[in-house]
Structure 1
Amino acid sequence: MNKHRVRTLVLSAVAAGALMMGAGTAGATELKEVLDEGMAINKLAQESQKRIDKIVEETDKIVSQYKAVQKTIEGLKIYNAQLQRQIDRQVEEMEDLSTSIKQVTYVKRQITPLMLKMVDALEAFIKMDVPFQLNKRLEGIERLKDLMDDPSVDTSEKFRSVFEAYQIESDYGRALVAYTDTIEIDGVSREVDFLQVGRVALVYQTRDGQITGAWNNQTKQFEILDDSYRSSVAQALRVANKQAAADRLLKLPILAPERAQ
């Protein structure tokens, strides 16, 4: 009985050893497969990580580009706002300019008749004034009239010319001028030297110095003066022609002032 039990135990031990040896061989195989599987999983993980890193890098680029675009958009918004303010100011200036053009058109309609009246008034004044350089002054009036009728000349230029003509006539009142012209003396046309002293004296002397005369504003004609004026007029002519110095008093027939009408 005991021997049988011992044999049985020995057989059981042998069987168990055999089983353990078989189990060890199977375990090694499974371990290799597990390791291989783990290496495959690690490789897949590495590849996945690379893909993730690449996606993250591309995402960062996209985010950077987005931020750059956002910054550009903000700059454009500021620029557009500035442009809009400039456009608004230009619109206001255009409205002001349109208003000014309308006013200029109105003024132009009003100033043209005024200029024509000024030219007519200046012509009447010259004809009533002391007749120094009369032809020259009346020719200037005719040029002004032609200018007023010329459609190619701007209104501002016409007004400037009228104002200039008035200024010239005003300057004549302070002028000391000598010039040569012809005059009829005793029915004979003769060349004489004229002396204009502003608007207070207009005298003449023949080229030979024998006849001296002056304009009488009351009779509206030239009258011959006595010989007492001859030397004074001759000296005054030399002064006006810058041939002598104004170093002494000269006797000249001065026109008496008239009461304004």
Structure 2
Amino acid sequence: MKPIYTLFTLTWLALVASVQAGEPLDQARQTQSTIQQQGRTTQLQVERLADDTLEMRTETERLAQELENLQVYHDHLQALVKDQQRELADKQTQIDGIDTTRTGLVPLMYQMLADLKLRLADDLPIKAAQRRLRLTELSALMSRADVADAEKFRRLLEAYQIELEYGRKVAVYRDSISVNEGEPREVELLHLGRLTLLARNLDGSAYWRWHPQQKRWQTMDDHPAGELELAYRVASGQQVPQLMTVPVFVGEVQS
């Protein structure tokens, strides 16, 4: 309210000055009205400037906060860029070593493939058809340019893992065999790891065993059929594991 008092004071002084100067009353009133109008205009301008000043101060504070946030974000991006540059340097080091790694990897893969073929030739014919097919596919895979060396190596390791499992498992499966070079017959095969490989016809009336030295199937007339039946029942999960007697060729055991 102080500006209004000041305005009235100025108006009163102007009016007194006008009367003292001998101005007519109407002209003094007109002068007073003009002064009051100018005072109101000036007051509005002052208030508008005060509002503008407040808005500018608020905007300045907002911009200062945004600037602070941008600085924090900039520092965050700088940290990310440094970390990405470190990762790129690591990747480049790995890329630089790929040629050296590949030089040793390719011969290793061919050696692994040769070892798998040798194992199949000397091993018990456990799932022989599947293993031959796997080796054929791996041999074809090695010469394919559209398959990465990493994938070839993974497939070879997978084949090695499967071969290791044959030596650890006790399993029964169906396949066909030829006895004494006769016609193939469907049988149930049982292998106890790589200790022994047995076969029986589907009605369980005849049993054979694989002779690893002679590379042929032999009739098992000299072994109790009950023990062989028990071995099949345990291997197929029809009976709980227990002590059983089966023929093995200790000298031919492979890991």
**TM-score interval (norm. to shorter):** 0.5 to 0.7
Q: Which one has a bigger Cα radius of gyration?
A: 1
- Deviation, 1:143, is 1.9
- Aligned with 1:53 (options 41, 46, 59): 46
Q: In structure 2, the residue corresponding to 1:92 is in which secondary structure?
A: helix
- Aligned with 1:198 (options 175, 193, 197): 193
* Aligned residue runs from structure 1 range 103-182, under 5 A: 103-104=97-98, 106-178=100-172, 179-182=174-177
- Deviation, 1:32, is 1.4
Give percent identity, aligned residues only. Answer: 24
Q: CA RMSD in A?
A: 4.0
Residue in 1 that maps onto 2:92: 98
- Deviation, 1:124, is 0.7
CA distance in 2, matches of 1:66, 1:155: 61
Q: Is the 8 A contact 2:196 2:249 kept in 1?
A: yes
* Aligned residue runs from structure 1 range 1-261, under 5 A: 31-33=21-23, 43=35, 46=39, 49-50=42-43, 53=46, 56-57=49-50, 60-61=53-54, 63-64=56-57, 65-104=59-98, 106-178=100-172, 179-185=174-180, 187-191=181-185, 192-206=187-201, 212-242=207-237, 249-250=244-245, 252-257=246-251
Q: In structure 2, the residue corresponding to 1:218 is in which secondary structure?
A: coil
Which amino acid counterpart does residue 53 of structure 2 have in structure 1? D
Which amino acid counterpart does residue 99 of structure 1 have in structure 2? T
CA distance in 1, matches of 2:139, 2:194: 25
Which amino acid counterpart does residue 57 of structure 1 have in structure 2? A
CA distance in 2, matches of 1:244, 1:62: 89
Equivalent residue pairs, number? 231
Structure 1 runs not aligned, ≥5 long: 1-27
Q: In structure 2, the residue corresponding to 1:150 is in which secondary structure?
A: coil
Which amino acid counterpart does residue 250 of structure 2 have in structure 1? A
Relative distance call for 1:259 and 1:127 in structure 2 (3 A) is closer
Q: Is the 8 A contact 2:179 2:216 kept in 1?
A: no
CA distance in 2, matches of 1:29, 1:217: 142
- Deviation, 1:103, is 3.9
Q: Is the 8 A contact 2:169 2:192 kept in 1?
A: yes
